[in-house]
């Protein structure tokens, strides 16, 4: 992972608000995106992520606040002169033009000669793996090919920022995974800022240097993928990214950044208090990811702590098995995942088990 | 990109203003004028003939409407007025009757066609079938109506066909039964109008609902009655209105088929407005007939409103 | 499917009846008899010759072409503005304005014609070919708006945004992207409104101030038995011409739908 902190700021949001009539679509967006960063806007549909992307492109006016690109306010700057280009969700390939005409569309006012432009088009096509496709009719392309044409068409103008609006959502699973890797490679090759809008948390985690998780017009957390996964700052973010078990707890004492809690079924634990933001009035819970819990088989010892449990449900996934387990004679149920390796039996419902865990993996939400 | 509401509204209004102004001047203004003229009279009850002469001043009067109710001779109703009122009422009644019969015929005959195209024609062929159904509608109305004279008339196609198979030995000359001939002609002319809205509503019927119906033990026929038909009623209502309203006001068919002997209300309006140059009375007839049609149409829609509930 | 077969037979018969008059028309146009009655007596093309020799008819033809071409141009232009505005922008009062534009679809033509007549008389405007055009644009515009709306609707908005994003202005986007993609719809609208205008009788008859046009010529001719056979020949040609125009219009409409990447959902209305 690169260290984007050292790079200059490319995009800055200053308290951006957007209203559609009475509807408050963006509610005070602040944050920066750095040059050369692969940045993702992640959230459920209707959270404002596409609207935010379109305020960068210039397709949406903002009601108040400011959007700056490369230090310049974009107030009153129309889309056609902004240093950004976009790959649309529908790809927006002009159906009445050939592939080459599509890719070269933005070069119409370019002062270069015709052969030079043709060469630029050919190079752009080569970059996205469509060498020799220039003469094809645009409407005869497959989904993946359209996506590549849309990429080439945007990148040929050498924008400072490439905006991608759910670019992979129309592709099937295999193609999507393939294109994720291609996009990462392409971004490293051209070195410009990529801003991706997606509702797919896996996609965001795989591709991004940093991610802004959005809910209801606000950025809930802006962090790198690992922090987002390991140290989500709210139950909502934790729930949206991957799976997390929540165990009710009671706060016993708090001192020097350490919080001592009594977690139901797990017992007394001392946790890092800095990861949990100040109280928001919610009942406190501790969160643990399924993969941080382990079942102890005969002869195995817990490296840290262990709790008794009873298996309630067994879900077989091929490479993994998920177990839903009641903790320590309580009604608290957690899900844990075990890799299926040779010699490790699949347990039955009702089995009494030992669940091993580590206080380090626990996150406090309150 | 004007996407603030006011900028967008401005762009939209600027674009739409030429056609909007056109409709305002060429449709709204004339209709308002007709409405106004229907309440207009001249000193001494002279007929209102546009353009007005020097010194003629229009005043407000209800006498034009009153003349429509001259059922018997009195101080205000001359015997001519009585004959006129009776003839007008007859023509209006005939117009409504003809339009009702035409609507009933076209909708009943069109439903199976719309159903066939929607449910039994392969999706790629649907627009071809619709095209075939609509073509006759786009060819000259006058020619199509006039042709029915030759088909229904003495020794026409109907007589020839029936005579050939020995059903009749005397020519029927259906043309002499004025109203019947008008109904046949208009039913034929408005047939595509009835097919299209029904087809559109049938297309919207979720096919899985039909499978659900049969899955729940309904037969094909009861599934049709309990699921498909109610769901397509919105289209049937639209078809009824789209056929009924123009047929009430049809002019060409009574002229060509009925030879002017069985006039409908449009022929009366034309007589007053054009032949007699009595534009106030013509306007009164136009407004009254539109009012009657509007009332009939509204009652019909209200009677069917439970089918229209889900529609925007 | 048994049920489908019954329905299919019915639909085919329905279509045959629908086409009946149009099929009978050329039979009598080529029939060597002055009366229009069965049985047919023999083949002739003399009615076509007689028709083409008629000076009044040639005058009517020229007038009709002037009226129909003007109507098609005006109605399509106004239709483009209305359809584009309705599809692309949201503005207050859209329902009322677009509804008013479509009203002539459900008003009896006699009402439209007489209302316009009253206005023209009151304003002291002389009846002429021009006043026919005024009326025809009014009744043709709803069809233009309907066809063009579906053409604009099948245009993905992101295509325009993409062009803007790639450096084009609003106008050059319209010229380079929107216009080429809705051109089939524009052609279809032009042909349909042309057909409506050339076939229309009531407005042409009452607002024309005595200027002969084809539909009025046909109407008048049908009332006198002696002129019927030549007018059948004229009718045959008009119907054939209408069907030709419609087929071309339908071809363009479909190509437009296919070009814009949309799904074909039906006919003109």
**DSSP calls for chain B:** ---SHHHHHHHHHHHHHHHHHHHIIIIIHHHHHHHHHTTEE-GGG----SSPPTT---EE-SHHHHHTT--S--SS--HHHHHHHHHHHHHHHHHHHHHHHHHHHHHHHHHHHHHHHHHHS-HHHHHHHHHHHHHHHHS-HHHHHHHHHHHHSTTSHHHHHHHHTTS-SS---GGGSHHHHHHHHHHHHTHHHHHHHHHHHHHHS-HHHHHHHHHTT--HHHHIIIIIHHHHHHHHHHHHHHHHHHHHT--HHHHHTSTTSS--HHHHHHIIIIIS--HHHHHHHHHHHHHHHHHHHHHHHHHTHHHHTT--
The two tokens of residue A352 are 């009494």
The two tokens of residue A33 are 């995106």
Mean pLDDT of C84-100: 92
Q: Which chain C residues are Cβ-neighbours of A79 within 8 angstroms?
A: 161, 164-165
CA distance A204 to A193: 15
Q: What is the pLDDT of residue A44?
A: 94
Q: What is the pLDDT of residue A193?
A: 95
Mean pLDDT of B201-212: 83
The upper half-sphere exposure of residue B195, i.e. CA atoms within 13 Å in the direction of its Cβ, equals 33
Given a cut of 90, is residue A29 above it in pLDDT?
Answer: yes
Given a cut of 80, is residue B311 above it in pLDDT?
Answer: no
CA distance C198 to C182: 24
Average pLDDT over all residues of chain A? 90
Range in B281-285, C172-176, C262-266 the model is least confident about: C262-266
Tell me how far apart the terminal alpha carbons of chain C are, to the nearest angstrom.
30
The two tokens of residue A301 are 């010892």
According to DSSP, the β-strands at A84-87 and A161-165 are parallel
Q: What is the pLDDT of residue C267?
A: 45
CA distance A185 to A199: 21
CATH class for domain A4-230? alpha beta
Q: What is the pLDDT of residue B107?
A: 95
Chain A residue whose CA is closest to C165: A80
Task: Band the pLDDT of A242: cuts 50, 70, 90.
Answer: confident
Q: Which chain A residues are Cβ-neighbours of B3 within 8 angstroms?
A: 59-61
State the complex-level ipTM. 0.87
Q: What is the pLDDT of residue C3?
A: 59
Cβ distance of C167 and A59 shorter than 8 Å: no
C-proximal residues of B, 172-191, CB under 8 Å:
188, 191
Given a cut of 90, is residue C265 above it in pLDDT?
Answer: no
Mean pLDDT of C163-176: 92
Mean pLDDT of A230-238: 88
Given a cut of 50, is residue B295 above it in pLDDT?
Answer: yes
Chain A residue whose CA is closest to C259: A95
Digit-coded pLDDT (tens) for A282-339: 788 899 999 999 988 877 887 788 898 999 999 998 889 999 999 887 888 889 999 8
Given a cut of 90, is residue C241 above it in pLDDT?
Answer: no
Q: What is the pLDDT of residue C25?
A: 86
Q: What is the pLDDT of residue C230?
A: 83
Chain C residue whose CA is closest to A150: C162
Task: Band the pLDDT of C162: cuts 50, 70, 90.
Answer: very high
- Map out the domains of chain A as residue ranges: 4-230, 290-357
- Residue contacts between A and B (CB atoms, under 8 Å): 13
CB nearest A59 (choices: B1, B4, B5): B1
CB nearest C158 (choices: A92, A95, A154): A92
Given a cut of 80, is residue A208 above it in pLDDT?
Answer: yes
Mean pLDDT of A221-229: 93
Given a cut of 50, is residue A67 above it in pLDDT?
Answer: yes
Please check whether residue A10 is in contact with residue A38, taking contact to mean a CB–CB distance below 8 angstroms. no
Cβ distance of B139 and C18 shorter than 8 Å: no
Q: Which chain A residues are Cβ-neighbours of B4 within 8 angstroms?
A: 61
Digit-coded pLDDT (tens) for B107-150: 999 999 999 999 888 888 888 888 888 888 878 888 888 888 77
Q: What is the pLDDT of residue B1?
A: 40
Given a cut of 60, is residue A353 above it in pLDDT?
Answer: yes
Q: What is the pLDDT of residue B155?
A: 65
Q: What is the pLDDT of residue C258?
A: 65
Pick the CATH number of B65-308 from 3.40.47.10, 1.10.3720.10, 2.40.50.140, 1.10.540.10: 1.10.3720.10
Digit-coded pLDDT (tens) for A41-63: 999 999 999 999 999 999 998 99
A-proximal residues of C, 73-112, CB under 8 Å:
none
Pick the CATH number of A290-357 from 3.90.850.10, 2.40.50.140, 2.20.25.90, 2.40.270.10: 2.40.50.140
A-proximal residues of B, 3-62, CB under 8 Å:
3-5, 7
Mean pLDDT of A12-37: 93
Average pLDDT over all residues of chain C? 87
Task: Band the pLDDT of B223: cuts 50, 70, 90.
Answer: confident
Given a cut of 80, is residue B220 above it in pLDDT?
Answer: no
Q: What is the pLDDT of residue A279?
A: 58
Q: Which chain B residues are Cβ-neighbours of C264 within 8 angstroms?
A: 127
Given a cut of 60, is residue C260 above it in pLDDT?
Answer: no
Q: Give the DSSP H/E element, type plus range, for residue C14.
A: helix C2-29
Q: Which chain B residues are Cβ-neighbours of C97 within 8 angstroms?
A: 16, 20, 23
Cβ distance of C259 and A139 shorter than 8 Å: yes
Q: What is the pLDDT of residue B228?
A: 85
Mean pLDDT of C108-122: 93
According to DSSP, the β-strands at A294-296 and A333-339 are unpaired
Given a cut of 70, is residue C193 above it in pLDDT?
Answer: yes
Please check whether residue A82 is in contact with residue A57, taking contact to mean a CB–CB distance below 8 angstroms. yes
State the smallest CA–CA distance between residue A66 and chain B in angstroms. 16
Alpha-helix runs per DSSP H in A88-234: 99-103, 114-127, 143-155, 173-190, 201-207, 225-230
Task: Report helix, strand or coil for A73.
Answer: strand
Given a cut of 90, is residue C74 above it in pLDDT?
Answer: yes
Mean pLDDT of C105-112: 90
Chain B residue whose CA is closest to C122: B51
Average pLDDT over all residues of chain B? 85
Digit-coded pLDDT (tens) for C29-48: 888 877 777 677 788 888 88
Q: What is the pLDDT of residue B153?
A: 73
Q: What is the pLDDT of residue C268?
A: 45
> Which domains are assigned to chain C?
1-44 (no CATH), 47-259 (1.10.3720.10)
Digit-coded pLDDT (tens) for B3-56: 566 778 898 999 999 999 999 999 999 999 999 999 988 877 778 887 887 777
């Amino acid at each position: 992972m690169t260290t984007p902190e050292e790079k200059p700021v490319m995009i800055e949001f200053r308290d951006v608000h957007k209203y559609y009539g009475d509807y408050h679509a963006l509610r005070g967006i602040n944050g920066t995106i750095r040059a050369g960063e692969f940045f993702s806007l992640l959230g459920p549909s209707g959270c404002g992520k596409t609207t935010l992307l379109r305020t960068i492109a210039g397709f949406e006016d903002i009601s108040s606040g400011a959007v700056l690109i490369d230090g310049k306010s974009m107030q009153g700057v129309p889309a056609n002169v902004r240093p950004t280009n976009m790959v649309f969700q529908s790809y927006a390939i002009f159906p009445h033009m050939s592939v080459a005409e599509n890719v070269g569309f933005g070069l119409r006012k370019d002062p270069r000669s015709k052969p030079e432009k043709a060469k630029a088009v050919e190079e752009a096509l080569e970059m996205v793996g469509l060498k020799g496709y220039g003469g094809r009719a645009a409407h005869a392309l497959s989904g993946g090919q359209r996506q590549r044409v849309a990429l080439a068409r945007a990148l040929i103008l050498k924008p400072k920022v490439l905006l991608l609006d759910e670019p992979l959502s129309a592709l099937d699973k295999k193609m999507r995974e393939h294109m994720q890797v291609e996009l990462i490679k392409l971004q490293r090759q051209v070195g410009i800022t990529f801003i991706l809008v997606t509702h797919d948390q896996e996609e965001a985690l795989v591709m991004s240097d940093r991610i802004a998780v959005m809910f209801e017009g606000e950025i809930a957390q802006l962090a790198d993928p690992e922090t987002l996964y390991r140290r989500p700052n709210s139950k909502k973010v934790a729930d949206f990214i991957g799976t997390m078990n929540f165990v009710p707890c009671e706060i016993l004492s708090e001192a020097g950044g350490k919080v001592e809690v009594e977690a139901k079924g797990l017992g007394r634990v001392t946790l890092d208090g800095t990861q949990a933001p100040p109280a928001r009035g919610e009942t406190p819970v501790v969160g643990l990811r399924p993969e941080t819990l382990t079942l102890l088989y005969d002869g195995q010892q817990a490296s840290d702590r262990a709790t008794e449990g009873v298996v309630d449900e067994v879900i077989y996934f091929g490479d993994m098995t998920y177990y839903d387990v009641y903790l320590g004679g309580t009604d608290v149920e957690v899900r844990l995942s075990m890799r299926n390796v040779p010699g490790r039996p699949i347990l039955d419902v009702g089995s009494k088990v030992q669940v091993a865990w580590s206080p380090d993996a626990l996150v406090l939400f309150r | 990109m004007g996407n603030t509401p006011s900028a967008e509204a401005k762009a939209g209004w600027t674009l739409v203003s030429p056609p909007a102004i056109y409709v305002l001047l060429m449709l709204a203004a004339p209709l308002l004028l007709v409405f106004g003229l229907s309440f207009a009279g001249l000193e001494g009850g002279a007929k209102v003939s546009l353009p007005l002469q020097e010194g003629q001043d229009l005043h407000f009067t209800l006498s034009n409407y009153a003349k429509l109710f001259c059922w018997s001779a009195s101080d205000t109703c001359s015997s001519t007025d009585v004959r006129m009122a009776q003839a007008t009422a007859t023509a209006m009644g005939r117009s409504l009757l003809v339009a009702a019969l035409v609507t009933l015929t076209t909708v009943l005959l069109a439903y199976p066609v719309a159903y066939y195209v929607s449910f039994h024609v392969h999706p790629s062929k649907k627009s071809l079938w619709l095209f075939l159904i609509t073509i006759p509608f786009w060819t000259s109305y006058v020619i199509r109506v006039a042709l029915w004279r030759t088909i229904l008339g003495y020794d026409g196609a109907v007589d020839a066909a029936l005579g050939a198979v020995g059903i009749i030995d005397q020519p029927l000359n259906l043309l002499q039964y004025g109203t019947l001939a008008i109904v046949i002609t208009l039913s034929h002319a408005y047939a595509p109008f009835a097919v299209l809205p029904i087809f559109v509503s049938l297309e919207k019927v979720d096919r899985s609902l039909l499978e659900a119906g049969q899955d729940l033990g309904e037969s094909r026929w009861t599934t049709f009655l309990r699921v498909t038909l109610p769901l397509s009623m919105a289209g049937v209502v639209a078809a009824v209105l789209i056929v009924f309203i123009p047929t009430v006001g049809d002019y060409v068919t009574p002229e060509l088929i009925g030879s002017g002997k069985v006039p409908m209300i449009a022929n009366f309006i034309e007589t007053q407005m054009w032949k007699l140059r009595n534009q106030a009375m013509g306007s009164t007839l136009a407004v009254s007939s539109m009012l009657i049609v509007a009332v009939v149409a509204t009652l019909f829609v209200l009677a069917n409103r439970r089918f229209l509930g889900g529609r925007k | 499917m048994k049920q489908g077969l019954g329905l299919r037979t019915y639909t085919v018969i329905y279509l045959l009846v629908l086409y009946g008059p149009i099929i009978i028309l050329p039979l009598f146009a080529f029939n060597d008899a002055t009366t229009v009655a069965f049985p047919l007596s023999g083949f002739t093309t003399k009615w076509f010759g007689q028709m083409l020799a008629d000076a009044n008819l040639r005058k009517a033809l020229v007038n009709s072409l002037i009226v129909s071409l003007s109507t098609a141009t005006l109605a399509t232009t106004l239709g483009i503005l209305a359809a584009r505005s309705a599809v692309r922008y949201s503005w207050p009062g859209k329902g009322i304005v677009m509804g008013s534009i479509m009203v002539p679809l459900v008003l009896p033509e006699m009402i439209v014609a007489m209302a316009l007549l009253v206005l023209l008389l009151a304003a002291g405007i002389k009846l002429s070919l021009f006043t026919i055009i005024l009326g025809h644009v009014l009744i043709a515009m709803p069809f233009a708006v309907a066809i063009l709306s579906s053409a604009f609707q099948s245009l993905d908005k992101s295509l325009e945004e993409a062009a803007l994003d790639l450096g084009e202005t609003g106008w050059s986007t319209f010229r380079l992207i929107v216009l080429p993609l809705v051109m089939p719809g524009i052609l279809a609208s032009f042909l349909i409104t042309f057909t409506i205008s050339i076939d229309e009788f009531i407005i042409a008859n009452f607002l024309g101030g005595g200027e002969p046009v084809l539909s009025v010529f046909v109407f008048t001719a049908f009332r006198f038995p002696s002129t019927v056979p030549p007018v059948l020949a004229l009718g045959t040609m008009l119907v054939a011409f209408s069907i030709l125009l419609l087929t071309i219009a339908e071809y363009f409409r479909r190509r437009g739908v296919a070009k814009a990447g949309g799904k074909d959902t039906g006919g003109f209305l």
